Structure 1
Amino acid sequence: MCLAAVRSRDARFDGWFFTGVRTTGIYCRPSCPATPPKAANITFYPSAAAAQTAGFRACKRCRPDASPGSPEWNLRADLVARAMRLIGDGVVDRDGVQGLARRLGYSARQIEREVRAELGATPVALARAQRAQTARVLIETTTLPLSDVAHAAGFGSIRSFNDTVQAVFATAPRQLRSRAAAADAGAGGLTGAWHHVSLRLPFRTPFAVEGLFGHLVATAVPGVEEWHDGAYRRAVRLPHGFAVVALRPESDHVAARLWLQDLRDLTVAVSRCRFLVDLDADPWAIDAHLRADPVLRPLVEAQPGRRVPRTVDGAELAIRMVLGQQISTRAARTHAARLATSYGSPIQDPGGGLTHAFPEPAALADIPDEHLAMPASRRRTVRILAAALADGSLDLSPGADWGAARAALDALPGIGPWTVDGVAMRALGDPDAFIASDLGVRAALKRFGMPVAGAALQQATAAWRPWRAYAVQHLWASGSHDINRLPNQEASS
């Protein structure tokens, strides 16, 4: 299969594996436009880091280091998948392999053994490959001094920065910058107190833009999120400071503009943006599976490539879902906006109308009644949920154990299946989460003559597994809610 994908230059497999060409010493993505090498000269690798560890350099034509990520890590819930999500979130760069082990609850030796067995590279090598890609983005899209690029990308010294860039890209950092400048690669630098970076986030086509961005905009919290000048924008809290991200859908990528208080957060910001708009999904596999069902077939054919609208902050999403229990989308946005204004962190938006980052859970654990205009039972749930998130007894981070998180949520008073499944789908990224009790889902099931609850529903939707979260998107799309369309540009800009 791998060889056939390379010979046909099949972009569907970009990110699934990488091709090392022994005669040239370079590695490529399957869709590389160069003449396919002879099979005898090819070695396949499960990750870019594995190819780099074996001594291969990144191809300058297809830029395999910039291909979409493997969809496998957002599909699985095992130790290796959790480790990969945390590595993508910068945990190894910040806390080392020991910090990764503490987050996962395993020994560092066991994690290294498991990751190496499946990815062909250690967590350190995977983090190194990620640092190299971050460095390349900063070199090519900003005017930062190269010493600052090295620091921002997470390198411990200028020497390791130079050596890594040369080894991975077969080009010195200064040559990369010269080539980017000659091609007029883009703008970047300081905007007031913010570092500005522009880059392209690749994805696998097809990509149903309206349902994804329409959902994010329809549920946006005023002051924290907005649709402005054709882009979804929001404030983000990151390990070293705040950021503002603007994501504009294009035909073959999402154009991202990032304003960061600290450039060390670039890798984390990109990882969370990709998760937010589900850019590492494999729409061919998902659509082919769901299309086999006669109920979903016309929906999938009408809008192939639907993605799941996720979040940049699992704790924020969980609190917002509790705020939205049994009320309208508009009312939920109003509640969340009030909390953001009163308890969030003020920001100075360099390019729009954002005013606050959403509050941290600790700030909401003891919130007074007057700031929660809702029934007493739900006020209690908000406080208990915020306290559990703040003290770590509920983990909704990128490396969270999905089963443990579901159990911890379910044990909290006032949290039922709608909230648990919604958090699993949008915060944890479980592709099989199914919000059976959602009113929009139930309305769609009734329209299609399907059961709406109990064992009959489980049996009727069993064929949709493991992609029931994507089936939910198609069911929602069959209705007339605002989440299914982008707002009027003139009214929103």
Structure 2
Amino acid sequence: DGLAERLGVGERQLRRLFRQHLGAAPVSVAQTRRVLLAKALIHDSDLSMAEVALASGFGSVRRFNETFQALYGRPPSALRRREARADSEGVRMRLPFRPPYDFDDLLARLKARGDAVEGRRWWRDLTPETDAATGWVAVERGVGSSSGDGLSVVVALDDLKALPGVLARVRRVFDLSADPEAITRDLSADPVLKPLVEARPGLRLAGDWIDAGETAPSDRLPDDFTPSLLRRAERWRPWRAYALAHLAAAGVRLETLETRHDQAA
């Protein structure tokens, strides 16, 4: 009910959209997200099972245990790796991405806009007003054979119930949901963009910690776009923001692009 209200749609329409695009009801999707977060915390942190249940959004430890027993035929504690050890800094876990991923380029752009970056580590203070908890979060590129294609995240906070929201914001800032294969395939239909995206498929967008935009970040354009550029940008959907990022990275001026479009027309 709360999600439908925030999105400004009816509950029936929301259920229909979930079925159409995800093949499952909103409740099932939310349950899957809770289970996946709980599994990550069980594997990568030293939190107790009660703390994992709280941090991953289960209403009670009993419901947490029953869900894992039903899905995996064993209690959640049986999934914990023996090598898991305590991290005195906070909850440490890995957030995956689809490679390639140009972490250093994204980190440089985050630093340029004023984010706190020390070496190859990004961090941010957490506040009750923004994050429903007090603490901090730090992100760096995962290293070692066990890290795989992911970022290493450490979160220290005074209320574990706020953890899912913090992790969602980290994913947005570091653009972890991007699909570089789809972006490269779709933007390559534009002859100007084709060599740019093929040369730098790991380029990512620097997301905002608090995102209040109505348009998806991947498809946003500046307000001052001319009608001519808007017409050309229609072919870039739903990756218009990535198209602009590639043009900027290659030093291509939009005025030049507009001239090419007018000549082609």
Partner of residue 211 from structure 1, selected from 105, 119, 140: 105
C-alpha change, 1:433 and 1:157, in structure 2 (3 Å) is closer
Q: What amino acid does structure 2 have at the position aligned with 1:227?
A: V
Once the 2 structures are TM-superposed, how far is the Cα of residue 310 of structure 1 from its aligned partner?
0.7
Partner of residue 278 from structure 1, selected from 155, 158, 175: 175
Q: Using the alignment, how far apart are the partners of 2:72 and 2:239 within structure 1?
A: 37
Q: What amino acid does structure 1 have at the position aligned with 2:241?
A: A
Q: Which residue does the alignment assign to 2:134?
A: 242
Q: What amino acid does structure 1 have at the position aligned with 2:247?
A: L
Q: Are 2:203 and 1:306 aligned?
A: yes
Once the 2 structures are TM-superposed, how far is the Cα of residue 235 of structure 1 from its aligned partner?
2.2
Partner of residue 264 from structure 1, selected from 161, 169, 189: 161
C-alpha change, 1:158 and 1:284, in structure 2 (3 Å) is same
Partner of residue 193 from structure 2, selected from 275, 293, 296: 296
CA deviations 1:162-189 (Å, max 9, x no partner) are 1112223333122122xx1x2x235346
C-alpha change, 1:268 and 1:435, in structure 2 (3 Å) is same
C-alpha change, 1:188 and 1:164, in structure 2 (3 Å) is farther
Once the 2 structures are TM-superposed, how far is the Cα of residue 117 of structure 1 from its aligned partner?
4.6
Q: Using the alignment, how far apart are the partners of 2:104 and 2:24 within structure 1?
A: 38
Unaligned regions of 5+ residues in structure 2, if any? 143-147, 253-265
CA deviations 1:221-280 (Å, max 9, x no partner) are xxxx32124211122445531342212124721111112221111211111111111111
CA deviations 1:40-81 (Å, max 9, x no partner) are xxxxxxxxxxxxxxxxxxxxxxxxxxxxxxxxxxxxxxxxxx
Matches within 5 A, 1:74-223: 98-177=1-80, 180=81, 182=82, 184-188=83-87, 191=89, 196-220=90-114
Q: What amino acid does structure 1 have at the position aligned with 2:36?
A: Q
Work out whether residues 44 and 94 of structure 2, in 8 Å CA contact, stay in contact via their aligned partners in 1: no
Q: Using the alignment, how far apart are the partners of 2:6 and 2:53 within structure 1?
A: 26
Secondary structure at the aligned position of 2:217 is classed as coil
Q: What amino acid does structure 1 have at the position aligned with 2:29?
A: L
Once the 2 structures are TM-superposed, how far is the Cα of residue 145 of structure 1 from its aligned partner?
2.8
Q: Are 2:226 and 1:226 aligned?
A: no
Work out whether residues 434 and 469 of structure 1, in 8 Å CA contact, stay in contact via their aligned partners in 2: yes
Identity %: 38
Q: What amino acid does structure 2 have at the position aligned with 1:187?
A: A
Q: Using the alignment, how far apart are the partners of 2:239 and 2:13 within structure 1?
A: 30
Secondary structure at the aligned position of 1:126 is classed as helix
Partner of residue 151 from structure 2, selected from 240, 254, 258: 254
Number of aligned positions between the proteins: 245
Q: Using the alignment, how far apart are the partners of 2:27 and 2:40 within structure 1?
A: 20
Once the 2 structures are TM-superposed, how far is the Cα of residue 122 of structure 1 from its aligned partner?
2.4
Secondary structure at the aligned position of 1:200 is classed as strand
Q: Using the alignment, how far apart are the partners of 1:296 and 1:114 within structure 2?
A: 32
Q: What amino acid does structure 2 have at the position aligned with 1:226?
A: A
Q: Using the alignment, how far apart are the partners of 2:251 and 2:184 within structure 1?
A: 19
Q: What amino acid does structure 1 have at the position aligned with 2:210?
A: D
C-alpha change, 1:106 and 1:466, in structure 2 (3 Å) is closer
Unaligned regions of 5+ residues in structure 1, if any? 1-97, 315-395, 403-427, 438-452, 481-493
C-alpha change, 1:126 and 1:478, in structure 2 (3 Å) is same
C-alpha change, 1:226 and 1:112, in structure 2 (3 Å) is same
Q: What amino acid does structure 2 have at the position aligned with 1:138?
A: L
Secondary structure at the aligned position of 1:106 is classed as coil
Work out whether residues 211 and 477 of structure 1, in 8 Å CA contact, stay in contact via their aligned partners in 2: no
Once the 2 structures are TM-superposed, how far is the Cα of residue 286 of structure 1 from its aligned partner?
0.8
Work out whether residues 435 and 472 of structure 1, in 8 Å CA contact, stay in contact via their aligned partners in 2: no
Which one is further off, 140-149 or 209-218? 140-149
Matches within 5 A, 1:326-475: 396=212, 402=214, 428-435=215-222, 437=224, 454-475=226-247
The structure having more radius of gyration, on CA atoms, is 1
Aligned-pair Cα RMSD in Å: 2.6
C-alpha change, 1:479 and 1:261, in structure 2 (3 Å) is farther
C-alpha change, 1:169 and 1:246, in structure 2 (3 Å) is farther
Once the 2 structures are TM-superposed, how far is the Cα of residue 205 of structure 1 from its aligned partner?
1.4
Work out whether residues 197 and 259 of structure 1, in 8 Å CA contact, stay in contact via their aligned partners in 2: yes
Q: What amino acid does structure 1 have at the position aligned with 2:117?
A: W
Secondary structure at the aligned position of 2:201 is classed as coil
CA deviations 1:348-403 (Å, max 9, x no partner) are xxxxxxxxxxxxxxxxxxxxxxxxxxxxxxxxxxxxxxxxxxxxxxxx1xxx6x2x
Work out whether residues 215 and 309 of structure 1, in 8 Å CA contact, stay in contact via their aligned partners in 2: yes
